[in-house]
Structures are given as structure tokens and as C-alpha cells.
Structure 1
Amino acid sequence: MTLARAEAAEPEHAALDIAGERLILRADRSVYWPRTATLFVADTHFGKAGVFRRHGMGLPQGTTDADLARLGAAIAATEASRVVVLGDFVHAPPAADEPWLARFAAWRAGHAGVDFRVLRGNHDRMDAVPAAFDVDWQAGARLEAPFVCRHEPAHDPRGPVLAGHLHPVVVLRDGGERLRLPAFWAHAEGLVLPAFSSFAGGAAVTPAAGDRLFVIGGDRVIEVATGADR
């Protein structure tokens, strides 16, 4: 794939119009909907490193703190009044004494004025989260007209779907070099967001004709030519 120009919304972000609404694709892996002051993220996978450490893997700490700092910065930059997590809020049901639980509760208290909504994903295998999280916890799809918010991408007759789950990435090649970059994938049914978690793998996207891909390279969002329309 080759790099192509995208319409700039801010120097490091890109704008995408879907169903008459403008969405801002941000380099921090979030999507901002200006008309409703809503920030969308997908696949935060909070507590993932801790899950691996419980199974004996010597992974560094701090990934949750870094992701919370990035989410807080996105809220501050956009002045969002709502955050919607499109599933996989946690990586696995947490143990009661996991340190990240208290850190998230403290972070949430610092953003108490922001409405925080979570759609349960396939990793969110519990009925509720701690009350201190102050989270609207919901199973199934959520209509945010004209969009339908859900975890897994799928057709929905009510409108274009905003989803996560796939952790889309784009592989760029230049001679012998190979680079995997997280990407936003706009397709006929809606938009798939990259995983917000900094500790998440990804699946390479195979675009169809008419699809658009926006990769995140450092602090910029850049549209790439898919070649699918040729």
C-alpha cells in the first residue's frame, strides 16, 4: 500500500463524513464526534498486562496508566462530554485486588463530569464493574443516531455501525522493510476503530472496493491507497 493525502481536520488528525456526520479520526486511536461532543474508543483491554503477569509472564507495569493518561488527554483536547467504549473494556474479569482497579477509580473521579458508557465485548465476561467506576455498562448494540454502536462489526439496518473487535492494522512495505500500523477502516457498513490499548495485537485489513484506510503513524493520521479499486 502507498500513502495518500487525507483531509486534515487538525494537523495530526483526519476528518471522515459518514451519514452526513463529521467524525474526527485522532492519532491517539480515538474518534471524536463534534456535534454531540462524544469520544469513541474501542478495545481498551484494561488490566491485560496484569492478566499475563498472573500467569507467570514478566511483563512491565504501567500500560494501564499510560492508556488512561492518553484517554484523559483526548478528553481534554476535544472537551468531550461523553466517552463511549465499543467493547472489550477489560481484558478478563479482574481479581478483586488488582492494582489497576483503584487507579481507574481514581482516574474516573478526576473525570466525574464526563458521561462514560461501555458496550460489553467478548472479553467483558462479567455482569458489572465496581460502582466507583461510575460507568453505564450495557450489553448489546446502542443506537446513537445515525450511528449504531456495537463491539463486533456487522450490518445493522438502523444505520452505519461504529465498532472495534478486529484491531485493524495496515502493513506497509518499502523494499525489505515492513511496518505494521494501527488503522481506522471505513467500509460499506460503517467504521472499525483500532484498539485503543497500547498492549494489543492487530489483524491486517483486506479492504474491498470503496473502502478507506487511515493509518496512525506517530502523531499523524494518514489515508493510504488500498489498491482495491484498481
Structure 2
Amino acid sequence: MQSAAATIGEIVVPIRGERLHLLPERAIWWPRRSTLLVADLHLGKEEALLDLGVPMPRGVLDETLARLERLIDRHEARRVVVLGDLVHAARGLSAEVVDAVTRWRERVGGELDLVPGNHDELVPELPSSWRVTRRAAAVLDPPFVHLHDARPSAAGYALGGHLHPMVRLDGRIDRVELPCFVIGVRRAILPAFTLFSRGVRVVPDGGDRIYAVVDGSVVDCSSRAWA
């Protein structure tokens, strides 16, 4: 699969006649549909773990929302599609979290669509002030189908997340694991949008290309990926 550089730090991949921009902010920009695609925000995760007595850094929610807002503003996106796990758990939806997202939605207009993930299924009703449209588990948006777990689909080219994919790169001195996009023949997997997550290590398989997010850029590292 051929790719071409877009603006600095981005990579454009042609898929089924469309051009998708892989962004270093761990999102995909689909210009023809004025749509940003993100996966696995896990809003409220720090609050959920703090509620369980686990010491956590603060500020994850604010950083996540601010980064998404900058992307929306930069691209003048009319729609954001969350490919699952917008929230982490019901116990994480504290009054502070609900209020922070509500205030964010007051500033940020446009459509906010949610394709439910496994964590979202545990929170059947989100605050109405968030103005989130909960869609079906699979949403046809030709030539793509939006899912949480991006398994190949007869309905279209699958876009999803769920795995929080990571790639391991071995240097002469160091070994690092980086979040990555996995772009295959029939499906693409987005990295987790949240910066506060662990992931699953992946390697190229059956025509997959691996695009790592490193130092504010997206880099094709398919030939350097190892298990």
C-alpha cells in the first residue's frame, strides 16, 4: 500500500478511493467527509482508578479534551467519530468529569458520534449535556464501516481501535515501544487517543503497514517492527 507525505508530521494513505490523514495526535482526518476519527479516549479513567484507591496522575482528562479540541479547530471538522471507549467506567463519571466534558461541548460544536466499545457498554446512558449520538455497533459510512474492534467486514473497509496497538523498535542501543496505526488490506486499527494507557504489541501481517507515532510525527516503520 503506497503512502504519501501530507503536512509535516502526517502521512496520507489511500484506501478504497479515499485519502486518510494519519495524524501524530493519534487520530485520522478524513477530509472528504470533514470527519475526525479517534478511538479509546477512556474519559474518567483516572477518576475511576482513584476511586479504587490507586494513586494516579491528574490532568489526563483536560489534556485529552484539549488535544481533541485543537484537532477539531485546526481541521474545522464538522464531525467526530469515536470508534469505541469514549468513557472508561461508570464510577469514573464524577461530577467534575461530567462538568468538564459539558463545558468542553459548550465550546466545541459539531457532531459527536459514538460507536460503542466494551467500556461504553458498561455505561448505557451518557449525560445529555455531552450531546453524544450513540450509534450501532457497526456503522456503514461508505467505503468504510466504523467498529470498535476492527475486524475485516463484508460491509466495507473496517476502521476501529480497541487494541491500543504498539510497535516495538530495536535500535543499536535502546528498545522502545510506540503507539501506532495498523493499516491493512481490509481494516485499519487506530492507536488509543488517550496518552494514559497500555497497549498490545503488533507486527506486520498479511500486507499490514505499521505507522508509529514518535516525536510529533507519524513514521512508516513496517520494515523495523518486531514481535
In the TM superposition, residue 173 of structure 1 has moved relative to its aligned partner by: 1.1
Q: Which residues of structure 1 form unaligned runs of 5+?
A: none
User: 1:138 matched to which residue of 2?
Assistant: 135
Please give the root-mean-square deviation of Cα atoms over the aligned residues, in Å.
1.6
Query: Are the counterparts in 2 of residues 6 and 222 from structure 1 also a CA contact under 8 Å?
Result: no
* Partner Cα separation in structure 2 for residue 156 and residue 24 of structure 1: 22
Q: Within the alignment, does 1:203 sit opposite 2:200 as a pair? A: yes
TM-score norm. by structure 1 comes to: 0.93
Structure 1 segment 6-45 matched on structure 2, within 5 A: 7-45=4-42
In the TM superposition, residue 96 of structure 1 has moved relative to its aligned partner by: 5.7
Query: Are the counterparts in 2 of residues 86 and 119 from structure 1 also a CA contact under 8 Å?
Result: yes
User: 2:119 matched to which residue of 1?
Assistant: 123
User: 2:217 matched to which residue of 1?
Assistant: 220
Query: Quick one: which of 20, 41, 44 aligns to 1:47?
Result: 44
Encode CA deviations 1:112-138: one digit per residue, 9 max, x unaligned.
2x1110111001112220000001012
* Partner Cα separation in structure 2 for residue 12 and residue 145 of structure 1: 27
Q: Which has the higher helix share?
A: 2
User: 1:154 matched to which residue of 2?
Assistant: 151
- Partner SS, residue 72 of structure 1: helix
In the TM superposition, residue 139 of structure 1 has moved relative to its aligned partner by: 3.4
User: 1:67 matched to which residue of 2?
Assistant: 64
User: 2:76 matched to which residue of 1?
Assistant: 79
Q: 1:214 is aligned with what amino acid?
A: Y
Q: 2:62 is aligned with what amino acid?
A: D
* Partner Cα separation in structure 1 for residue 217 and residue 106 of structure 2: 30
In the TM superposition, residue 166 of structure 1 has moved relative to its aligned partner by: 0.6
Change (3 A) 1:223 1:6: farther
Runs of 4 or more, structure 1, over 2 Å off, are 94-98, 225-228
Q: Within the alignment, does 1:185 sit opposite 2:182 as a pair? A: yes
* Partner Cα separation in structure 1 for residue 65 and residue 211 of structure 2: 23
